[in-house]
Structure 1
């Protein structure tokens, strides 16, 4: 009979192996990397890393979700992104210590592994294969940044365009497809979605109601958002509802 502890360890090493610049490591090397991550349980809304600490750590999500936020002058969150199980982030800060600081908050109960930059530099940067994978990853991160800029690039008057672009992006990142369309599998309040798209909460609620009335989206009983067929027709045709 397989020991639960062994199953958990195998699951954790599989997550490590799924990280692009660790994928080429041997099983023994992956085990060594896994031991470098300091795992901890976080409750929903608990701070994982404060802004002043984010340049010192890379983090890996073993379970749950976290959101990456900046606080504006009024103390309100501007969501940069949301990360889910098996996602990782912060590797660039371990390379140059210049990554823009942000606060990491548990979006739901989560298990997070933190890798300190000293361990990263000492144990991993001497591996040529890892350095090559890091370059590839940086290109991927740049493309993600372009997608975020696209969401924010619309004029303030085009709030609906911003919301549509946000929903499109959330569907790509967290979408679960079924015969009705794509369900966005991440729970966000209207305020959180508004901060993501840089619109007011009132505007976000108004636009979502309009999109629902037009059968572009549906709000399910679970409060999740379903992107209907009309949503994808609208996006592919470049129409603005």
Structure 2
């Protein structure tokens, strides 16, 4: 089943609520590059990420996908209250992951009797909305180089580790490619490649052994200039 105690929105809930969630749901494996659900699909479950990573994507009118979020272990994947239980995005496995699911109706009944659980879910979704606001702010009125610097800084905050390889740089401990980054920023791969070369030339990013390293201080300085 996996360790359900890792799920952030379950922190502080009653023992009875936790036992109900544990006994009335189920876990399964989602492989890398496999779809969990599509945009506008009617969903019957609330999904939680026990281990691994998944991505939430949204297609534009041209059919190109933009990565909205990379979700990590402990995250709630979709919101527990949805309009007609219909998804607004699609979800794919970024790496092999263990997913836990429980039916909407069951989870709704548990929330009704556990204020902490309901509040945790609301606070979690509020944080996600705030992240969307920041993305919207960073998507307008600035050039691609600065957008990329901001994104690399954000990824550094979430996934950066100091492996000691480069002074003042953190390793982004998450698999990234130019194609994936272009989907995160909603731009063409060629344009993103040019922006990345600019950051490398400005010693904000180092690419070494198929991994990216970010100078966090220089990245935020470059974005805010």
Aligned position for 2:155: 170
SS of equivalent to 1:52: coil
Q: Using structure 1 for the length normalisation, give the TM-score.
A: 0.81
Aligned length: 222
The answer to whether structure 1 residue 161 and structure 2 residue 152 are counterparts is: no
Aligned position for 1:48: 36
The answer to whether structure 1 residue 15 and structure 2 residue 2 are counterparts is: no
Q: What per-residue deviation string (whole Å, max 9, x for no partner) do you get for residues 68-111 of structure 1? A: 1112233321111111222222125x255487611100111111
Aligned position for 2:105: 118
Report which of the two has the higher share of helix.
Answer: 1
In structure 2, distance between residues paired with 1:84 and 1:129: 22
In structure 1, distance between residues paired with 2:223 and 2:64: 32
Task: Pick from 127, 132, 149 the counterpart of residue 140 of structure 1.
Answer: 127
Q: CA deviation at 1:237?
A: 6.8
Q: Using structure 2 for the length normalisation, give the TM-score.
A: 0.86
In structure 1, distance between residues paired with 2:150 and 2:84: 31
Cα 1:152–1:54 shift into 2, 3 Å: farther
In structure 2, distance between residues paired with 1:54 and 1:186: 30
Q: What per-residue deviation string (whole Å, max 9, x for no partner) do you get for residues 2-35 of structure 1? A: xxxxxxx6x513224xx23x21223443232123
Q: What per-residue deviation string (whole Å, max 9, x for no partner) do you get for residues 16-61 of structure 1? A: 4xx23x2122344323212333311122111111223365432211
Given that residues 46 and 102 in structure 2 are in contact (C-alpha distance below 8 angstroms), is that contact kept between their aligned partners in structure 1?
Answer: yes
Gap regions ≥5 residues in structure 1: 1-8
Higher relative contact order (CA 8 A, sep 6+): 2
Aligned position for 2:25: 37
SS of equivalent to 2:162: strand
Given that residues 150 and 223 in structure 2 are in contact (C-alpha distance below 8 angstroms), is that contact kept between their aligned partners in structure 1?
Answer: no
Q: CA deviation at 1:239?
A: 5.4
